[in-house]
């Protein structure tokens, strides 16, 4: 089987933890070259991994950031936006800062990155893009209004951007994960009762997912195996959203 990711360059945001870190490990095993953009360096030592220490809300610095990237591994073949902000708060205590931070990272950052996709000195063509949304962008949940709004916006952005970029042979898709077994969920489980934690698990008919459920889905959407798919939101939630 041909490994189409070997020696290809993937730009990823938010690779210092969670889904982003898992994707970095996964694609390094595919012998891809990874450029991670985040405020913290991933705890990985690999010659095929480069890190750019950057705050994604520093929008005025995007031009200088992007200009650095081709000097590392050459042109970019794939882009994954995995950076995200998530918190649970009732709407009555949501602040302006909460709104700005969530929208800036979850939605504004990938929108601004997209401006550079057509730059032939930065991105190869054809190329493929995957944006990490959430099942909360598809269904509602108490205390997650701002988060849900940002992720729903990302899904809508994906659909329109995919049409705009299709003539340039650039595919744009997103995935919407449910709850997965992760340090984030483990921390949540420690802060709530065992009944509440059990309820979250039982709300996913197939149980909560794993990082690999996300990794292989992203691989599929980036790869030529999905060459006729664009503008799609792949829901990966163990049945949570269909109940």
Confidence band (pLDDT; 50, 70, 90) for 140? confident
Distance, CA of 171 to CA of 208 (rounded, Å): 29
Does the annotation mark 78 as catalytic?
Answer: no
pLDDT tens for 162-173 read 999 999 999 999
Residue 173: left (phi > 0), alpha (psi -120 to 50), or beta? beta
Are the beta carbons of 178 and 243 closer than 8 angstroms?
no
Mean pLDDT calculated for residue range 91-114: 96
- How many degrees, rounded to 5, is the angle at CA 215 between CA 74 and CA 190? 125
Contact 100, 59 (CB under 8 A): no
Q: Strands 9-13, 33-38: parallel, antiparallel or unpaired by DSSP?
A: parallel
Give percent above pLDDT 70 in the chain. 98
pLDDT at 146: 95
Long-range contacts of 48-52 (CB under 8 A, 24+ apart): 49/24
Specify the pLDDT at position 1.
Answer: 66
pLDDT digits (tens, 9 = 90+) for 7-42: 999 999 999 999 999 999 999 999 999 999 999 999
Q: Which residue has the tokens 């794939």?
A: 78
- Asked whether residue 188 carries a pLDDT value surpassing 70, the answer given is no
Q: Does residue 2 surpass a pLDDT of 90?
A: no
Mean pLDDT (the chain) is: 94
pLDDT band at 198 (very low <50, low <70, confident <90, very high): confident
User: How many angstroms separate the first and last alpha carbons of the chain?
Assistant: 38
For 185, counting Cβ atoms within 10 Å of its Cβ (0-12 exposed, 13-18 middle, 19+ buried), the class is middle
* 211-238 pLDDT, tens digit each: 999 999 999 999 999 999 999 999 999 9
C-alpha 83/C-alpha 143 separation (Å) is 21
Percent of the chain with pLDDT over 90: 85
Of residues 201 and 108, more confidence is placed in 108
Q: Which residue has the higher pLDDT, 195 or 192?
A: 195
H helical segments located in the chain: 18-28, 62-68, 70-73, 96-103, 109-114, 145-166, 183-191, 194-202, 211-222
- In the structure, what pLDDT confidence band is assigned to residue 51 with cuts at 50, 70 and 90? very high
Q: What is the pLDDT of residue 142?
A: 84
Q: Which one of 147, 168, 188, 240 is the catalytic residue?
A: 147
């Amino acid at each position: 089987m041909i490994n189409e990711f070997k020696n290809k360059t993937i730009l990823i945001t938010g690779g210092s933890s969670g889904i982003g870190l898992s994707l970095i490990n996964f694609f390094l095993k595919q012998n891809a070259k990874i450029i991670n953009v985040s405020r913290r360096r991933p705890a990985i030592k690999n010659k095929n991994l480069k890190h750019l220490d950057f705050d994604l809300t520093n929008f005025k610095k995007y031009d200088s950031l992007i200009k650095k990237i081709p000097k590392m591994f050459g042109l970019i073949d794939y882009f994954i936006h995995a950076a995200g902000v998530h918190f649970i708060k009732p709407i009555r205590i949501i602040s302006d800062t909460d709104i700005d931070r969530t929208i800036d990272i979850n939605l504004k950052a990938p929108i601004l990155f997209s401006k550079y996709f057509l730059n032939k000195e930065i991105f190869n063509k054809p190329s493929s893009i995957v944006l990490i949304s959430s099942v909360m962008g598809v269904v509602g949940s108490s205390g997650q209004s701002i988060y849900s709004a940002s992720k729903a916006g990302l899904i809508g952005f994906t659909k329109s951007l995919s049409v705009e970029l299709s003539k340039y042979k650039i595919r744009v898709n997103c995935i919407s994960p449910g709850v997965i077994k992760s340090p984030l969920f483990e921390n949540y489980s420690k802060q709530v009762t065992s009944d509440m934690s059990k309820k979250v698990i039982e709300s996913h008919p197939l149980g909560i997912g794993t990082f690999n459920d996300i990794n292989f889905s992203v691989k599929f959407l980036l790869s030529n195996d999905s060459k006729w798919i664009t503008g799609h939101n792949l829901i990966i939630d163990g049945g949570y959203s269909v109940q």
